[in-house]
Amino acid sequence: MLDVNTPLSKDSRNFLENLRLYLIANGKNTDEIEEIVEELGVHLLEAEGNDKSVEHIVGSSPKEYMEQISAEMPVDVKGSLKYLVMILFGAASYLVMDKALNGGIEFSFLELIGYPLAGLLSIVVYLISFRYLASHTLSMVRQSVLLFTLGIISIALFASVIILSGIYGTPFVKLENTGNVVAVIAAISIFIFLSIWSKTWIPIIIPLLLFGPSLLMDNTDYQESVKLVLSSLITMLGILLYCGITLKKSKSV
Amino acid sequence: MSSTQMLKGILEGCLLAIMKEGEVYGYELAEKLNRYGFESLSEGTIYPLLIRMQKEKLVLTTLRKSTAGPNRKYYSLSEKGEKELNLFIERWNRLSVNVNQIVKNKGGV
């Protein structure tokens, strides 16, 4: 991977980051992506040493240039499917954990169909938007509006599954005690597997921060409302702390 | 064939011809093309071509350390690339003879 601390100009770094995002959103092979990003980085570095601008390298339209590169790289179907399956499995494990800790695992038929569908739709919407974001120069405001809308869309998709299932759904799968324990162990194993596979702590830390505090609070004698506020506070602070530590680490490398 | 596609084919031939003279890395290739008169071309144009030529196994690549900074990717001709270069030279000679004749005769036969 290209060193983030190479003395490349901001324009060049932006272009390389956008190219990487564009190619990922187009389902290209990650090794091949890193290869071309690195090669272009070397070129840009040398070009900047000779006072050439990014435009001199990529032409007047970065979008067209990204398309040209993308067109020469085959879509990595197997690799993309792997990511898709991992994301869906990860999301399913969150749901299972959440249900198991809040009164037991119970899914209606609508939920069983609806959640994967909402997940897939969200991924498609995100990929299309990332392609757009990477190949267009947008102001900070527009970028934030787009990302915010994206968040709302996926939340709305999942919320409608929850609401519809509340109205029309009848329990289709309902697990008893042993079933719940087995499902939770499976979910935890998936988190650990995802963490090893992605070589990051995120798949373990996020569920720990989301579910840990309320579990802890359940063992205290505080009032319900106090429990709720405290556990959400710990979750939020934990996530902020984790982001801070990661940011500091990536800067000091 | 659109004019950009034609230019791509010609550029590919030029890249092969430059590589025939010895191993080169991307920036060097772009500079050489520039010196031969392709100044209007943005330097990055060569990379989509290089990706394709690599896919078609016309070129071999090696990563080498450089004193100036990160590793450079060097390109050289494969056997298939040499054959392709010879075919290109043949095609080009035929094409340029034809075009020259037409231009010299100002279109009349």
CA A80 to CA A29: how far, in whole Å? 8
Q: Which residue of A has its CA nearest to B48?
A: A69
Contact A235, A217 (CB under 8 A): no
In the A/B pair of chains, how many CB contacts fall below 8 A?
63
Interface of B with A in 78-97 (CB under 8 A): none
CA A204 to CA A195: how far, in whole Å? 6
A253: its two tokens: 């490398």
Indicate the domain borders of chain A: 10-72, 200-253
- Per-residue pLDDT of A187-209, as tens digits, reads 999 999 999 888 888 888 888 88
Partners of B69 in the beta sheet? Answer: B66
| Residue B30: Cβ within 10 Å count | 26
Residue A201 has what DSSP assignment?
S
CATH number, domain containing residue B42: 1.10.10.10
| Residue A4 confidence (pLDDT) | 43
Q: State how many domains chain B has.
A: 1
- Residue A57 with chain B: CB contacts under 8 Å: 42-44
- Per-residue pLDDT of A135-178, as tens digits, reads 888 888 998 999 999 999 999 999 999 898 888 877 888 888 88
Kindly state whether residue B109 falls inside one of the protein's structural domains: no
Kindly state whether residue B22 falls inside one of the protein's structural domains: yes
What is the span of the domain harbouring residue B90?
3-104
- Per-residue pLDDT of A22-78, as tens digits, reads 999 999 999 999 999 999 999 999 999 888 888 889 988 889 999 999 999 999 998
- Residue A46 with chain B: CB contacts under 8 Å: 27, 68-69
- Per-residue pLDDT of A71-117, as tens digits, reads 999 999 988 888 888 888 888 898 888 888 887 888 888 888 899 99
Contact A207, A191 (CB under 8 A): yes
- Residue B73 with chain A: CB contacts under 8 Å: 35, 39, 42
Could you identify the residue written with the tokens 């500091």? A248
Q: Which residue of B has its CA nearest to A45?
A: B69
CA A44 to CA A28: how far, in whole Å? 22
* Of A87, A86, A106, residue with least CA distance to A96: A106
